[in-house]
Amino acid sequence: MVINKTKRGNEMKKQALILTAFILTLIIVPGCNGSDKSSEAPAQQQVKEQYQCPMKCTEEKFDKAGKCPVCGMELEKVANG
């Protein structure tokens, strides 16, 4: 019976070691990801400013301010989304 106890104790130690390694991995891995900011992907939820004719004579939206190619009016800023 003493052998069984010892064996169980060893297994618990083993599990504790695995658990410790697992926790250490959890702590270290986010740190590694933090340095991976070089591959910054553009946020999809980012509100993109676009411009459209106030008369809406065209459905077309423009990335820059300017004048409507149809009626020549100053384009208005619109929230895309």
Residue numbers at the binding site for Zn ion (CB under 5 A): 53, 55, 57, 68, 70-71
Alpha-carbon distances of 47 from 27, 52, 68, rounded to whole Å: 33, 15, 22
Q: Least CB distance from residue 80 to Zn ion, whole Å?
A: 18
Q: Which of 81, 47, 51 is nearest to 69 (CA)?
A: 51
Of the two residues 11 and 74, which places its CB atom closer to Zn ion in the complex?
Answer: 74
Of the two residues 51 and 68, which places its CB atom closer to Zn ion in the complex?
Answer: 68
Vertex 48: Cα angle to 42 and 49 (nearest 5): 150
Q: Least CB distance from residue 44 to Zn ion, whole Å?
A: 29
Q: Least CB distance from residue 46 to Zn ion, whole Å?
A: 27
Of the two residues 12 and 55, which places its CB atom closer to Zn ion in the complex?
Answer: 55
35 and 63 in contact (C-beta within 8 Å)?
no
